[in-house]
Structure 1
Amino acid sequence: MLGGRGAGLLWREKEERLWQETPRGMWPAQGSSSIMFLKRNREKLIDELADYIDCILDRFLQKELITKDDYEDAAYERGPRKQVRRLLDIIDCRGEELASIFCSFCAEMKEKPCGKQRQVVQGSSSEYFKLALKHKQTLLRRNDCMKYYNSRHGEKIYFADHFVNLLLIKGHYSLEIKKHELLTFGQQRIHLQKTAERLEIKTEEIFQKLTDRSAPKKILVSGVAGIGKTVFVQKILYDFSRTQTFDSFDFVIHFTFRDLNLVSKPTTLRNLILMKMGHLSRVLDDVFLNSEHLLIILDGFDEFKFYNQIDVDRYVIDPDDEVELVQILGSLLNGELLPESTILLTSRPTVINHIPVDCIERFVIITGFSEKEVKDYFLKYFQTKEQGSEMFTFVRENHFLFTLCYIPAFCWIVCSVLKESKNLNMDQPKTVTDIYSHYLIVILKHHTHNSNKCSTVLETILDLGKLAYSTLLKHETVFYMHDLEPYTSNDLMHSFLDKTSVQNPESTEDVFSFTHFTVQEFFAALYYALEENLSVDMMELEVQIKFGLSSGSLDLFLRFLSGILSARNQKLLLKHLNLKESIKLDSYASWLIEELIKHCENGAYILNLLHCLFEQQENSLASRIVPTVMRLNLSDNTFSPIDFSAVDYFCSLVHGDILELDLTATNINSGILQELEPILFRCVNLWIGENNLDTEAVKILCHILSAPNCKMQFLGMGWTNIGDEALLELYNSLVHNTSLQELWIEGNEFGYDAVEKFSEISLFNSTLQHAIIIGSKIQESEIIKLRAKSSGNLIISDFNDASGRDFWEGWFQWIFQRCEICTDEKLVSFLTKVCRGLSLCQGTDWACEWYAEMAKLLQKRMQHCLVDNVKRRMHTLEQIFSVPVVNGKIQLTSDT
């Protein structure tokens, strides 16, 4: 046994022994033939070089001594001895010059061996060394080919041929749970890839020291479904098994949470490892003793059935302690079990708030493909560069298609649909549902035969839909063989399902999921559209409450349902699949129109309904949408190009003034405002606060305000980080404006000089009643100066009774409502900004009740908050709002 002294895998010791056994005269003398030398000593060379073939191939490729095709010809051989044979064959064909270089290189290896020099440990290391090599060969066999969506039986898709780089950035998602991560991802992804503060990292750097701090031991890699997390993990396993990119590790142990979900009784870490990697049994003690050279990958935390129990209170420190699975995993993450090992955890962002993030030392986001990688993917997918370039250009000009292509799984779907659309005489897709309907048809055409009866196809589609519908109700994305027993099991059904075979102590079990979770939602919507007698109607409010279908969780289902029930997709499905027309089309259209009218009139969040209308692509419906007022609430979701398409489509069909457009906290910028400009001209009230706006964005708004036909009466731009230049732009635009009554620009970066200049607006504009600038950089002494000016009632830079109690109570009520709907992290961020101006209400008595209510809200939120750092910030805010009240007045200190 090796004991615990140093690394374990003794590369230098092994190399020195091998080369010392090699006769000194083995390498050819100067002037003799290297080709003949290699032929005479071929079998001995195969024995001696098998342990180093990875390094030799990498060096020769790097120095361009062999081509990439040569490299892959040798690398794809099964086993290191065969790889050496293939390389020797290649050298023999290339002639004397390459043979001479090869011999020289091998001779140099005696003095400068490949790989990282490790500390020599006393004792026998041969078994550890042999098992490490065998382990790499096992990982290579398991990861040499990649799982490609709907590849045919027996078809091999080699990883090296099809892998396209993913963009990784240092940082992490907001811990808030998205309403629907895919739908909010588009613009956020673009923001992530363009932000100046991002730190782009390469796969091989993920475990390295990037700053003055030590190399991280606990790493969280997050990304939305289909973004490439599992392929990223396969890239690590592939590179580790073939090269020495990750040469600080002797062993990499890979778990998926799909496998771990099958563990139903107490177990040990040793048993978990041996369940997947039995070949490590004889050396596992040494692996544990040298855990600083062990990498454990935990892939797919969002699929773990106990994801909300991972932050455990009781830890284990011995790999042989038999405990519940969550205790083992929690102990690994918290560094109590194998503290020197490196842990890589992957997850979708929806469940990150359940991870003990305080123990995470590096956060990494996979943002999918960049524009360059999307183009590379198209060029690899299509048969010719010309066709690939043509299709990429088409997609690049389409907002929603191009945004989808940043996610690798969707990029494949889009490519497969575009490739087959012409062959199947289908129009180019216009909406997301079109893409999935075409995808369904393409897969059916490729995986069915003329002998298949239409009834079998229809039965299979309905079974897939029923499976998707029932599992969506139960919030399940993975299921097992017994879940499939009630349904028709055939090749067609499995064309839409991914299967993973996992080993548990008693047997092997198959785990299934749809090829992508959005495919599951599409089939669920298809089933809802086709099934006339549903036992459980997901559209009913009582059902949504019963099954815990929270607001927003059915957004994509509803979009798919709307698109499937559109006249054009009904015809498409009838033509290609002989599916009957749904009887729900008219009733759904009536429901959609009623909901749109209701949401317009009461100002409820409307964006997803606009998407549903966009999926219909039926302009005649607009004549039936006649609300008494039009209030479009699009707030609190990252605005993407797809969202713009839906909003623009609605506004182009439904005419008239827009009483209120709420774009608060949507991450809009000058580019989006420029596209929205025709719509903004129709707005009476516009709210665009809590966005990072620059002067260019303000100039677009100023263009509207200075227009003779401007309708805008209220404009809210609070907490948008605008400064003096933007304020003076507003001043110039309002000189001739005759519509704006209130301008809310609180929480921004204005100085006294700019505000004083702006106060002169009352000399030119008699319409503007209030410009609220509380929470800016103005000092108390400067506030007194502003009050003394004749325009003091116009420029409101602090809380004062002159504006009226109702005026401020309305503002505070709005703040409170914003906080009620915010997630925990957003609540903390927003209230921190608001507090910048609250010290100006010192001495007022009308805010006491509001302070007490806000303190109660924070206390309630703290009871359920699972993220420690957010909870601590809540506590700080709660103390601010729990300040003492004396004689009915808030007693704020300078520290508060």
Structure 2
Amino acid sequence: MEKRDRGEMDTAPSEPLHSHIKLLKTNRELLVTHIRSTQCLVDNLLENEYFSAEDAEIVGACPTQPDKVRKILDLVQSKGEEVSEFLLLVLQRLEDAYVDLRPWLVEIGFSPSKLIQSKTVVNTDPVSRYIQKLRHQLGRDSKFILCYSQKEEVLLEEVYTDTIMELVSFSNESLGSPGSLARLLDHSTGVLNEQGETIFVSGDAGVGKSMLLQRLQSLWAAGQLDARLKFSFHFRCRMFSCFKEGAMLSLQDLLFKHCCYPEQDPEEVFAFLVRFPHTALFTFDGLDELHSDFDLSRVPDTSSPWEPAHPLVLLANLLSGVLLKGATKLLTARTGIEIPRQLLRKKVLLRGFSRSHLRAYAKRMFPDRATRDRLLDQLEANPNLCSLCAVPLFCWIIFRCFQHFHGAFDSSPELPDCTVTLTDVFLLVTEVHLNRTQPTSLVQRNTQSQTEALRGGLATLRALGQLARWGMERELFVFSQEEVQAAALQEADLQLGFLRAVPEPGLGEDQLSYEFFHTTLQAFFTAFSLVVDAKVGTRALLRFFQEWPPGEAAVEACSAPFFPFPCLGARGPAGDNPFRNKDHIQFTNLFLCGLLSKAKQKLLRHLVPAAALRRKRKALWAHLFASLRTYLKNLPRTRSGGFNQVQAMPTFIWMLRCIYETQSEKVGQLAAKGICANYLKLTYCNAYSADCSALSFVLHHFRKRLALDLDNNNLNDYGVRELQPCFSCLTVIRLSVNQVTDSGVKVLYEELTKYKILTYLGLYNNQITDVGAGYIASILDECKGLTHLKLGKNQITSEGGKCLALAVKNSKSIFEIGMWGNQIGDEGAKAFAEALRNHPSLTNLSLASNGISTEGGKSLAQALHWNTSLRIFWLTQNDLDDEVAESMAEMLKVNQTLKHLWLIQNQITAKGVAQLADALQKNTGIMEICLNGNLMKPEETGGFEGEKRLVLS
């Protein structure tokens, strides 16, 4: 047999130079070693009538896989050149089936003839068939979005709209947008840790995390993601809570039994996956919904793909890379959840809809232009409602309610034109759902009021509330059929669309489970139940407010942004709850405040005895007052820059939201009175535009002047509009990294120039163009006390630069200008040079990374001959050369007041550095000239070691 495997050239007839028979013979050992899918070869030979049924039987009778390969090669060679060439074609075409032979096929340069190219090649390889089955299943499962009821579905492709997606650092500092979902999986952008295995996507409830994963699955199924990703497995994290502590499962069973089972040879498919893990994409949705008492510290890690382990152990080891290292893993969770840094490859924040996203979404939801324009006009007229639409879930609810009224009533539906709270929105969607049961008529429209709708559906609402509250108290979001029946819900109730049926893998049952269409809806019905249930006393009413412990502010202020997850192997303090995100509970509190507000008394008095309603309102307000007073008292305070600064936390945002839901001026006044500081810092609180409504609701009661820092949130233009009521008291406004565009800047101009008290304006890293730069220049012209202006990393070019420079020239108060990362170029630089000449107050100026070259640099240097105010000048990352260095050297012989000059990462050589070094002999004022990153060779730096003020590395 060994002699035969090598091939016996002396017994073979004479063969042509490029004989395919000869190729098979001389490479027999290679083929026997690497061909595994023999049935696929037999199927193709049968399909093209190169093999008879008898040939196939002969191959099938061979006892081992290598023997089958040898028999196939013998039979093929015996049938001649054409059949041998066809065999090579099959090996070439079916790359996944014969992956180990790719290098060899490239090496021999196999190129089939036209005759062979025309032959049919069928792919019956187990791996390929499984991939096809996976694509079909995920394509089917991700094609539709389940909407109002289980009977109503819409195509994902027709309504999906991208949201703001931002790559961030470990500390949530922006690293820019990935640009597309496909780029999200790209290994070249946003990588924080090369050894990390998991792409972590977080965002608030309703911001579109699950929808993003569904879109990814759809793209993969359609072959529109990286071609190297051949497998895709999707899990909801909550399924891992369903396994008992003693459950043991192999990775193969987890993937195949709970995702998609191979039709043939599962061992071969799994072996391929284990061998090529980089071909797999895993998505795990909702880490915050994983609730388990299982302690991973009591069990060892499992590094063997075949060894059974508890499913949570498998999950932890998949995310860490102990299992299937190199696979692409994407994990989602609500804001506030963190995972150990060593697991992280990328970190992504979802920010919801911007103004342009909202319009794109409206176009998809309302193809009819007249209807769409009417909707958008109504939204523009109601900034409060529009700001709620920044959250995709709330936007969808509002749009679907608009659609319902449009279809059920007439062609001119009206959205509410007054102040709208989130409670109003959920009451509206409840009304719409209940009205679906009403008979419709072509000649008579349903005129049932909201009160009548709620009263008529009270039995259903009570049952839904009972189920929601039972689950919320236990932090359960999926309900069995028995639990649904125990809440007295009828089949007709299930068809209303509040609940949807979901298959829940991991339960070992074929029957369906149920969940509310979103956790926020479960929170709403929980609050509704607490209000309308006469048996609910004060203690039960307020149980979810225990998430606001008095000392939380201090704890939050001193803790690092890492919340341990014992289920992922991290170790935390004893008794520490790893599931720190409690948005579902916070939403319950918010809806409770909304339902018990004075404005809802008229609506609820038909559902709840007036005395019970008064008692519950009194208890809630007393607790809210006490919680707010204690929280504000415990917020950390610092003295900085003449301000008494208070550092608020995300819990403060939730308190503001609850206060806003009450629509009580008394509560708003109390909150404003309790701030007791003149600098309110709310950075990195994940505040949305709708939160600006709540912030303004409180701050318009603040009678003193105030500094407001909202950097690194998600406010956008609608948030700026919602801040209008409190602009009259703001002296400092920081809105950096907030997706603000020219439209928002226009609002700032219109409001700030009314009061003219502004001293600091921070708009770094937004989306401001030359149009917005014109508005900012006008603010600088009219606000005579403005000292600090931060405009870096926007989209300002030379036109905007010239406009701003003129305003700077005319300002007698401006102290610091930050323009890093724009593109003002040489023309803008010349304008700033003119502004610098003899300026009385400008002390710090950054024109770094602005495309400034020789002419602009020389103009700036010449202007500094006449300037005595500037102390710090940043010109990093431009195109400044030796000519500019020479001009700067000449300037330094005259200007003795400039202290810091940064020329990092330009085009200056040793010649320019020498000129600057010479100039320092006549300058005693300059403290440093930073020149690292220029065109200096290492051996050239030695000549300047004596001048310590030159920083060369």
TM-score grouping bracket, smaller chain normalisation = 0.5 to 0.7
Q: Partner residue of 2:415?
A: 428
Aligned to 1:300: 285
The 1-side partners of 2:35 and 2:359 are apart by 43
> Are 1:257 and 2:275 counterparts?
no
Give the distance between the partners of 2:733 and 2:185, measured in 1 at CA. 46
In the alignment, which residue of structure 2 is the partner of 1:685?
A: 759
Query: 1:289 maps to what in 2?
Result: 271
Residue in structure 2 matched with residue 706 of structure 1 by the alignment? 781
Gaps of 5+ in 2: 1-30, 53-85, 101-121, 440-452, 556-576, 623-661, 875-898, 900-919, 928-947
| Aligned counterparts of 1:178 and 1:209: Cα–Cα separation in 2 | 19
The alpha carbon displacement at 1:793 in A equals 4.4
Q: Which residue of 2 aligns with 1:14?
A: 43
Structure 1 residues 110 and 356: CA distance shift in structure 2, 3 A: same
170 and 462 in structure 1: CA distance in 2 versus 1, 3 angstrom threshold: closer
- 1:703, 1:406 → 2: CA distance? 29
1:507-656 pair list within 5 angstroms: 513-523=515-525, 533=538, 534-536=541-543, 538=545, 541-542=548-549, 545=552, 564=595, 568-572=599-603, 583=617, 589=664, 590-599=666-675, 602-605=678-681, 614=693, 625=701, 627-651=703-727, 656=728
The aligned counterpart of 1:323 is 309
Aligned to 2:463: 460
Per-residue CA deviation, residues 551-570 of structure 1 (Å, 9 max, x unaligned), is: 99988667656654555555
Identity between Structure 1 and Structure 2 (%): 13
Which one of 806, 811, 829 corresponds to residue 732 of structure 1?
A: 806
Distance 2:297 2:436 in 1: 46
TM-score, scaled to structure 2:
0.55
Contact 1:6–1:290, Cα closer than 8 Å, also in 2:
no
Aligned residues: 676
Note the residue ranges of structure 1 that are not aligned, 5 or more in a row.
24-108, 180-187, 763-767, 799-807, 809-839, 847-890
- Residue in 2 aligned with 1:151? 149
What letter corresponds to residue 168 of structure 2 in structure 1? S
Q: SS of the counterpart of 1:773?
A: strand
Structure 2 counterpart of 1:445: 435
Say if 1:250 and 1:650 are closer, same or farther in 2 by CA, change over 3 A: closer
Structure 1 residue 632 displacement after superposition: 3.7
Return the letter of the residue paired with 1:257.
C
Which whole-Å CA distance do the structure 2 matches of 1:527 and 1:892 have between them? 71
- In 2: Cα distance, 1:12 partner to 1:387 partner: 58
* Structure 1 residue 428, shift from structure 2 partner: 1.6
Q: Kindly tell me: are residues 4 and 573 of structure 1, through their superposed partners in 2, closer, same or farther at Cα, counting changes over 3 Å?
A: farther
List aligned pairs for 1:831-850, cutoff 5 A: none
Q: 1:488 matched to which residue of 2?
A: 487
In the other structure, the counterpart of 2:943 is none
Matched to 2:617, the amino acid is I
* 1:312–1:327 Cα contact (<8 Å) kept: no
- Point out which structure has higher relative CO (alpha carbons under 8 A, 6+ apart): 1
Q: Residues 390 and 688 of structure 2 are in contact (CA less than 8 Å); yes or no, is this contact kept in structure 1?
A: no
Cα distance in 2 between the residues matched to 1:268 and 1:274: 10
Distance 2:860 2:310 in 1: 66
CA separation of 1:892 and 1:309: change in aligned 2, threshold 3 A: farther
Structure 2 CA distance, aligned partners of 1:561 and 1:613?
A: 20
Where does 1:220-369 land on structure 2 (aligned, <5 Å)?
220=199, 222=201, 224=203, 225-226=205-206, 230=210, 253-263=233-243, 264-265=245-246, 266-276=248-258, 280=262, 283-291=265-273, 292=276, 295=280, 297-303=282-288, 305=290, 316-333=302-319, 336-338=322-324, 342-348=327-333, 350=335, 354=339, 360=345
Asked whether the equivalents of residues 379 and 389 of structure 1 are also in contact (C-alpha less than 8 Å), the reply is: no
- The alignment status of 1:671 with 2:743, answered yes or no, reads yes
Aligned to 1:117: 94
Q: Partner letter of residue 398 of structure 2? A: V
Aligned residue for 2:843, secondary structure, equals: strand
Look up the equivalent residue of 2:147 and give its one-letter code.
Y
Are the equivalent residues in 1 in contact too, given 2:383–2:722 (CA < 8 A)? no
1:418 partner amino acid: F
For 2:225 and 2:435, the matched residues in 1 are separated by 42
1:398-450 CA deviation, whole Å, 9 max, x = no partner?
65656766766445422331133475899623535232220122223336999
Aligned to 2:397: 413
Amino acid at match of 2:843: A
* C-alpha spacing 1:502/1:893, structure 2 compared with 1 (3 Å): farther
Which amino acid counterpart does residue 164 of structure 1 have in structure 2?
E
Offset of residue 743 of structure 1: 3.7
Paired letter, 1:700: Y
8 Å Cα contact 1:783-1:797 kept in structure 2:
no
For residues 597 and 760 of structure 1, what CA distance do their matches in structure 2 show? Answer: 46
**1:716 Cα shift?**
3.6
With over 3 angstroms needed to count, the CA separation of the structure-2 counterparts of 1:793 and 1:746, relative to structure 1, is: same
Corresponding residue number in structure 1 for 2:167: 173
User: Secondary structure of 2:425's partner?
Assistant: helix
Partner residue in 2 for 1:49 = none
TM-score by length of 1: 0.58
Which AA in structure 2 matches 1:732? Answer: L
Aligned partners of 1:244, 1:551: CA distance in 2, in Å?
A: 36
Whether contact under 8 Å (1:254, 1:298) holds in the other structure is yes
Deviation of the 1:397 alpha carbon: 6.8
Partner amino acid, structure 2, of 1:679: E
Partner Cα distance (2:387, 2:807) in 1: 35
Q: Which residue of 1 is the match for residue 845 of structure 2?
A: 773
Residues 641-662 of structure 1 show CA distances to partners (whole Å, capped at 9, x for unaligned) of 33123212555xxxx5533333
Contact 1:11 1:117 in 2 (8 A): no
Deviation at 1:636, TM superposition (A): 3.1
Amino acid in structure 2 at the alignment position of 1:374: Y
Distance 1:650 1:451, change over 3 A: closer
How much is the aligned-residue C-alpha RMSD, in angstroms?
6.4
List per-residue Cα deviations over 1:725-777 (Å, max 9, x = no partner).
76764553255556x36445486889997666434344xxxxx6453237969
Output the CA distance in 2 between the equivalents of 1:688 and 1:719. Answer: 9
CA distance in 2, matches of 1:246, 1:720: 31
Shift of 1:696: 4.0
CA shift, 1:269, in A, is 0.7
CA distance in 1, matches of 2:726, 2:236: 44
1:706 alignment partner, SS class: helix
Query: Counterpart amino acid of 1:502?
Result: E
